[in-house]
Structure 1
Amino acid sequence: MTRTLTVADRHEREREVDRLVAEGYRVLRGSDTETRLRDASGGSWAWHLIFLFMTLGIGNILYAIRNYVRADRVVVRQESA
């Protein structure tokens, strides 16, 4: 899922990006008026441990792929001047 946040100026966009990075998002790419981020969490450590012992690591790989595909994405866009 991708959500878009629209901000008024460059400083507000930088503040919003900094806040999202502090929450665990990773910057995918940025330009002068737009920054794209993705939730960088790899999933719950408890699930990774369960899958490690039950599936000899194959479940971990599938769980990590699932989390990557379903990760929350955010576009922080600056309004046109």
Structure 2
Amino acid sequence: MSLTTPNPPTTPPPATLASQAVKVMAILIAILSGTLGALLAFMITRHLGATPLVAIGSAGASFLGVSGTVKYIEEKFHLL
């Protein structure tokens, strides 16, 4: 008596789980999340008294960090 299934269910590979529209929307969500993070970082640093150049640098670093993190999470959910 065998303990394996005679016809194991076939699952599509992760690359075919997302259509082109879902991939585009996932990238747009990452970009918009990064933009929101950059705006918040800029506003907070300016409120705390930073110079405009420091605030822009902080916003740029926040944009890269937030959008990269969201993209990483989307890849783990097989959206990209």
Q: Where on the TM-score scale, by shorter chain, does this alignment land: which range? A: 0.3 to 0.5
Pick the structure with more strand per residue: 1
- Greater relative contact order structure (CA < 8 Å, 6+ sep): 1
Pick the structure with more helix per residue: 2
TM-score normalised per structure 2: 0.42
Question: Based on CA coordinates, which of the two structures has the bigger radius of gyration?
Answer: 2
TM-score normalised per structure 1: 0.42
